[in-house]
Structure 1
Amino acid sequence: MAKIPFRPAGKVSRLTFTEEERSDPTLEEPLKKAEKAADKLEKAQAKIPKKKSLAKERTFDADTGKTKVRLYFEEIDKPKPPSKLSSTIKTIPQKELLSKIHKEIREGEQDNVGVEAAHKTEQGAEFGARRVQSAYRSHKLRPYRQLAKTEKQTVKAEVNYLYHKHLRDTPASITNPFSRWQQKRTIKKQYIEYRYGKGAKTAHQAAKNTKEAVQKTASAAEKITQFIASNKKGILIALGIGAVLMFLISAVSSCSIMMEGGFQNVVGTSYTSEDEDIVAVDEDYTSLERALQARIDSIESEYPGYDEYQYHLDEIGHNPFTLASYLTAKLQIYKRSEVQSELRALFDQQYTLSVREEVQVRYRTETYTDTWTDDEGNTHSDSYTEEVPYDYYILHITLRNKDISILATNNLTDEQNKMFAVYMETQGNKPYLFEGNIYAPGKGEYTDYDIPPDALTNPDFAALIREAEKYLGYPYVWGGSSPSTSFDCSGFVCWVLRESGVYNIGRTTAQGIFNQAAKIPPNEARPGDIIFFTGTYASDGAVSHVGIYVGNGMMIHCGNPIQYASVTTPYWTEHFYAYGRLN
């Protein structure tokens, strides 16, 4: 993580922000909160009482070769008044004396009504004096309490900003709730070190305080030990009876607590809607995605007459558990009929489709022929060419897909975001809901396969497998294209082809890989060929999924997680598209 940008402002340190950060809409809200908290901290710091302290300034006189000392007064913060505990300790002898006097007066006040009345008046006056003293002390401590409070709020706000900036700079890191928690802890630890830089001092002071507390407790412990030694028998009987009673009580209560706690954990991490509603809502969202794909497919009919259509399209699709976790965290219980407007709003946030016209001035070569007749009546012709400008019209079609997990960060409250992370981790305790969906999140378990040794005699294929098997168990991450972010299907195949040295390919989609491959019939497929599938989700081309064929009806691919799979199962047979070979 980059060094935290603090700047001093008086005696208060605060974050500084670049113009680029200020103009970033994803950082706008946490940035405002951080600045607001820092402003409050500066105001609280200014209200701390000041005092003048004598200080020295040493300067060197080059002419005389002597050092001069100048005394001056500088304004510094007054130290915080001693704690109430230390004040109480100092006044204990005085309180004990007053208590003894009052006790002696009470012993004789029943015999004299006048003495009793005077004593009550005196006690009331002492109580009032103590209240006035307490109120005065509280008034003196108020600016220090306010400073401590605003300091805590500033720390929280600035750590939150740094965390959001980290998520913006490394969006792939938000896919794993445990990883996000670790990242936030690291950011907070580094922030505290930069802001205060006094961990060693604090630890030393803590050790010193602990030693003093142990010494103060020693004498009391010694007295208790002496008492136990002189009353062994009675104490052992009492302890025995107490132990039996505690065992019986705890046995009953702990069982009920364990059962109740276990039940609450399951309920608190489960999807609360009916299974049929969850599945139906996901189908409705998929229908919106299919409609979007149909709209893209008909763009050229909707905007006819262009010389060229250029497509810049993110993949269309979503993780069904992400959608269910988002809706559960936000709505708790939802019905299919009640959530349609929420689905539409979320869909419009996730996908942005735009078209843009570009006009280029191009030139084409045109041939002209001049014909004329000479004086003798002979006809002649002369041909020539000329570069003629014309307008060339291009329509750019752009689709951006902002994953639901990214939208959740801004759309949900802090508490809802915590629940969203829990539901994503547990799959709502309903992993069976979207069985067969290759983009449903996995748990890191994967199907392995022993490739026949004779297949590995091909050096290119052996290099592919060595690279591919490094990532077995890696989760599917939409748009992922490297080990640091994990992979999606095309990102995985592109990385393995390139890093193994078998085929130099840039980052592209499954359709992009297919466009570079030579199509081959299934009966000629061999280990190391690429296998393509269609219709696994609403993609922008015919090919929607890709894997590396390893022979014997098996492939290695990025489902969820990266694993080996049989291509002869009903699902893959239904979606099979073609085999391809890259040379």
Structure 2
Amino acid sequence: MKMDKKKKRHIFLAFQKRKRKEKMAAYQARDGDLQRKEEAKPQQESSGNSKETTDPVAEKREKKREQARRRIYRQKQKLQDTPEHKVPQAAIRRIRQEGILFLHRKVSEAEQENAAVEGAHKTEQRVEEAYSFVKRRYGGRKARKQKKLAKQEKKLEQKEVQFQYEKFLKEHPEMNQHHLQKQFQKWKIKREYQKARKHAAASKEAQEAVGKAGSTLMDLVKKSQEMLQKHMSLVAGMGMAGLLVMVIMVAVSSCGALFADTQSMVLAASYLSNPKEIDEAELHFTQLESELQDRIDHIENAYPGYDEYTYNLDEIGHNPFTLINYLSAVHTEFTAAGVEQEIQELFQQMYTLTLTEEVETRGGGGDDEEEYEVVILRVTLTTKPLVQLVENRMNTEQLELYEMYRTTGGLLQEFSSPLNLDWYGYVSSYYGYRKNPSSGHQEYHRGIDIAVPVGTEVYAAHDGIVQAAAYDSHYGNYVALEHNGYLTKYAHMNRLDVSAGQTVKKGDQIGVTGNSGSSLGSRLHLECLYQGEYYNPIFYFEVGEGTLYGEGATGSGGGAAGNVTPPESYDDASVEALIREAEKYLGYPYVWGGSTPSTSFDCSGFVCWTFTASGVHNLPRTTAQGIYNQCTPVSPSQAKAGDIIFFTGTYNSAGPVSHVGIYCGEGVMIHCGDPIRYANINTPYWQKHFYSFGRLR
């Protein structure tokens, strides 16, 4: 049964009236609160308990804003008020239209007898049409009032934002300094974020607003953070927190309510934990990895008496950003002690070391050859990707925060890139505990090593004064640059272009990379200190653009196979034949001692078979060290497809060379891992163990 239209309208008007009464009651209650506060102020001042002096300018501005709010509220009430006895506007418009049409018909009946009347009538019709057009285009009186009201609301909103921002700067004058105070920025972001999260937990409506805003907000955050990362010097002048708020406010100025409910997600784009706690958590994970590597290196001492030891080892190492992004997304703010157990669990899930004893019967091939048994200890290390592990431990909201951190890098980047290169993928040794490649002992590595060719230009990451530009037996040729308590070091360089006491600007060339000091290969060693304490440089330096071998962006995770070149694309026929032969065995398993397709291969057996079977070079079966002994060393800058790449320290081998593969160009090799596959040589693991390129003589 349909409801009568008159009854519907009556119910609707009654509902509107009730809502107006509720709003008016709320408004009056707020006025009462304000009045009571104003009455209480003199009492507080007279009692001497007030610790703050009232700012007359701020008080005047607040009074004006309150008057504007009241004026806007009254105008809204006038526009919304529609008394029940008032004739509906639709009926009035209908009567007016009928009257106009009646008059036009009467005039038309007489205009045929008088040309002047006809002309005047047509002119009048054109005027009416013009008036109707203008009214439709610009609206009537009520529409103009609504438009004016909208402008006033927008103006009031802009003043509110400006007032809050100026108030923030006044309360914290240090944010106006040229140098960004990181701890203060974190305090501001932390306070806003935690406040918003508490509000979201208590308000179901706020949670729904965040859910609806999901994808749009994430896009906005990513774009905003990209802009901030590219213009970090501008951010340093304005203050990270204030600029972030203003950027997002401008972007969503027409969505004030959405901003109010979701600003916490935008502000959460920075790591909120204390930098020392971040470093300690990362150090704990590297210490566990270093102990695992040390255990593998001493397998033969711990388990003596076997005839043979075979090793099938996955990579040891992780991306620091992956670990800290995960901990920040799950815990918001954490301490190293608080997440120690969780880090231990992640490590145990990531690495599985198994020792298997096997007995093989050999010999008996000839008439006089006797069979004999060989007792073998097979050592296998299986590594699961850390990214995969942490993603499986997070819920939807945590995954969104994790992706945000992955995009912004935690917003800790204080310095520009020291290399004109996307160098994340070329880090050969991270900050933390490791096995020293020179001494073989476990050590605390206080910087990062970036493996780049000799002669790569190095740039000052910030303004400052050259504290030192000298040679050291450990650092080799190095530069130490100081500014406002920060000290950055650039070591193992081939040439220095600055001298002690010199003032340099960010982006000035200070030298070129090399292999000086205790380095075992061309690299840039980078350190970062603040007020004498070491910090992990990976979090505080930006990266440049471009790659060494044209393999595309390396990203912060590494691990990709890079750009695999099809065999037919090589200009050299011998290289094409070599790669074609190698590709026949993609997917074959790693078998210790294997050297033919029927037995499968180990790393050196695969390289020897491929070179010989392809007809490129007759290379009899030998070890990885034996292959290296038949090669002429080649620098990374001169390496080309068809060369051989050698690695060291992948396990405790008899000689320095422990692994070998065939270089395919563009930062890619094909090698006998488990199984035989292509691999990107620019991952931290392979750069850490890189020994040399070689070309068969």
For the aligned pair, the TM-score class normalised by the smaller chain equals 0.3 to 0.5
Is the radius of gyration larger for structure 1 or structure 2?
Answer: 1
In proportion to residue count, which structure has more helix? 1
